[in-house]
A and B are shown apart, each in its own frame.
Chain A
Amino acid sequence: MVRLTTEARELSDYRRREESVSFSEETVVEGDRELLTLNIGPHHPATHGVLRLVVTMDGEIIRDVNPVIGYLHTGIEKTAEVKSYWKAIPVIERMDYLAYYFNGMGYCGAVEKLLGIEVPRRAQYLRVIHLELNRIMSHLVWLGTSMLDLGAISVWWYCFREREQLLDLFEMSSGQRMHTRYVQVGGVGEDIPPGWEEKVREFLAIMPERCEVYSDLLSKNEIFLQRMRGVCPMEAEVLRTLGVTGPLLRAAGDPWDLRKAMPYSSYDEFEFKIPIGTQGDNYDRYAVRLAEIKESVKIVEQALDGLPEGPYITEDRKVALPPRHELATSMEALIHHFKLVTEGMRVPEGEVYNAIEGPRGEYGVFIRSDGSSKPARVHMRDPSFINLQATPMLVEGSLLADMIATLAVMDPIIGGVDR
């Protein structure tokens, strides 16, 4: 008979703890009540990927949740060590696969800090535009899929309609729908094509009213309100202790947003508000994200209006590839091109941590450099992973169906959790 209680959790060896999770034919008894151990996942449509949850239940009430992770372990941190600095970008982008611009931005920002180079202002603005569009896209996918878990399928169709529009924009500016590798060390991969700005403005014009459509579909729906209002609330202090960031923390009333707290990529030049919740329940988590979409629209509008002229990537030839036309005429450019493509850039020794505000919270990248052209260590502080550890505290004592809703609203991306 195996019980999944505190003794099992205290074991330091992860492997043994995981193997201790099993299904006994005998019942687990706590006091005079029989507890049921239920396995959810790794293949389950409501776990948003390949997360596995081992749930101990007392009837319909959840007593304990043990998330078992690692089913999507990809070895991204290790793979980044064997690639030169800028060739690691595509691998790192595939980590949190709904926030690929953020992955690239966090990593490139860290490398730029080590190199000590200045990013041109046009590149900073282009980054902001793409980051905020990506944030809208991520929130749309979150809204669609998590409402699907609650049984509201109609909103999913609308969210994916707008998502396709956004992916068209990404494809136009970079050539790829997902994993665009647009953010480059020292700037962005290429300038925006002609006509892109108008397309973005078309999208920005319709997006706020589309938000109202989602809001009408959900916020006036009695079933939705009953499933969300007052479900699994949590105070901001507890969330801060657990390291939870992003919309989950803001829904609890703490206006912690790195775009305001530690501005990067000229975020201090834009006017926007940080939506916060009051109750810290699932409804606030939903409302905060919906309000964030509208704020992102405002930021993109301001960035498009004030988009400065100038280079889209740094002029430092040790970091950025020379323009194609220079290769035919300049020997120096050819040498720089050759060195960058074969060996990559050399980065001074040191350690750096760069954090940005992703759609799910603080997305940080730690890099240790030993002076060579490959990073000695890359570590990502992914918000999905950190936020996931709040699950047991959030859902303890609630109903099983509320746990599914809470997990959906927490929006963990398993690619970011397992890396």
Chain B
Amino acid sequence: MEVTRQKLESDVEREKFRVKQLRARDMLRGDLEGQELEDYVHERVLTSTLEKAFDWARGNSMFPLTFGLACCAIEMMSIPASRLDIARFGFEAFRASPRQADLLILSGRISIKMAPVIRRIYDQMLEPKYVIAMGACSSSMGVFNNYAIVPADKFMPVDVHVPGCPPRPEALMHGIIELRSMVHEDPTLGWRARYSAYGTEEVIPKPAADATGVNVFGAGGTEDEIA
């Protein structure tokens, strides 16, 4: 049984590890004796850093966003259904609000009109956040490849691409498992750190001094201008 993934390079580390084991053995003294106790300690004591424990928990309980775009959304909906049951991996709690979600699955084609909306949703998510581009359209515009579609990489960072049109739910499961192992192994949080992309935060335009209302979508006119 592998108890730790930590490599003990130097003598100092080896010595620290031995001290830890000895401390644990002292703790358990009385119930077991001799070789049995040695084996017990060797099997049970997990030496890890707090970050690793966090990553382990994070990778196993990710909340995807309830966000469907097109055809792939129907296949995405089969993931929590009874046949595949993503709850086995802790991904079944779909959240309707981006503020509560960790994972954005871009399930379908992204039109030019939808792209800013998706970017806004992504910016509303709290770090650490991850993105899966599901299907050919959100990765490479797919079969359409025309004026209306934009691939997700053009306006936001994507962690995992799942090919297919639409991908089988099993393929999306594989993508999710890949993402999980990525989260487990890479302790760096947030895409800005991963891509060293500081300074790309969303810039909120200042409202004009004489504006009467707050127009979230910009470019809107007042009633007088329209009439």
B-binding residues in A (CB < 8 A): 1-3, 7-8, 11, 16, 19-26, 42-45, 49-50, 70-76, 78-79, 90-91, 94, 97-98, 141, 145, 156-157, 160-161, 163-164, 177-179, 414-415, 418
Question: Is the CB–CB distance between A91 and B144 below 8 Å?
Answer: yes
- Which of chain B's residues have a CB closer than 8 A to the CB of A45? 66, 96
Which stretch in B19-27, B185-193, B211-219 binds the other chain?
A: B211-219
Q: Which of B81, B114, B220, B222 contacts A164 (CB 8 A)?
A: B81
**Contact of B168 with A by CB under 8 A:** yes
**A16 closest partner in B (C-beta):** B226
- Which of chain B's residues have a CB closer than 8 A to the CB of A178? 71, 74-75, 166
- Which of chain A's residues have a CB closer than 8 A to the CB of B144? 74-76, 79, 91, 94
**A78 closest partner in B (C-beta):** B146
Task: Give CA–CA (A417, B13) in the complex, Å.
Answer: 64
Least CB distance from B52 to A in Å reads 34
Question: Is the CB–CB distance between A73 and B148 below 8 Å?
Answer: yes
Q: How large is the interface on B (under 10, 10 to 19, 20 to 34, 35 or more residues)?
A: 35 or more
Besides A2-B222, A71-B113, A164-B78, 17 more A-B contacts (Cβ < 8 Å) are A1-B213, A7-B226, A19-B219, A23-B216, A24-B212, A43-B67, A43-B98, A43-B117, A73-B112, A74-B70, A74-B146, A74-B148, A75-B146, A75-B148, A157-B81, A160-B81, A163-B81
Taking chain B's interface residues, is the majority helix, strand, or loop, or is none over half, making it mixed? loop
Task: Give CA–CA (A44, B117) in the complex, Å.
Answer: 12
A-binding residues in B (CB < 8 A): 66-71, 73-75, 77-78, 81-83, 96, 98, 108-109, 111-114, 117, 121, 143-149, 165-166, 168, 212-217, 219-223, 226-227
Task: Give CA–CA (A26, B144) in the complex, Å.
Answer: 43
Least CB distance from B84 to A in Å reads 9
Q: Which of B83, B109, B219, B220 contacts A2 (CB 8 A)?
A: B220
Question: Is the CB–CB distance between A1 and B222 below 8 Å?
Answer: yes
Q: Which of B66, B74, B96, B111 contacts A74 (CB 8 A)?
A: B111
- Which of chain A's residues have a CB closer than 8 A to the CB of B226? 2, 7-8, 11, 16, 20
Question: Is the CB–CB distance between A43 and B121 below 8 Å?
Answer: yes
Question: Is the CB–CB distance between A50 and B75 below 8 Å?
Answer: no
Q: Which of A75, A160, A161 contacts B147 (CB 8 A)?
A: A75
- Which of chain A's residues have a CB closer than 8 A to the CB of B223? 1-3, 7, 20
- Show 13 residue pairs from A and B whose CB-CB distance is below 8 angstroms, ordered by the A residue: A2-B222, A8-B226, A20-B226, A22-B217, A23-B213, A23-B215, A23-B216, A43-B121, A49-B70, A72-B70, A97-B74, A98-B74, A161-B82
In the A-B complex, the 3 residue pairs with the closest CB atoms: A24-B213, A97-B71, A75-B148
**A5 closest partner in B (C-beta):** B223
**A75 closest partner in B (C-beta):** B148
Question: Is the CB–CB distance between B71 and A141 below 8 Å?
Answer: no
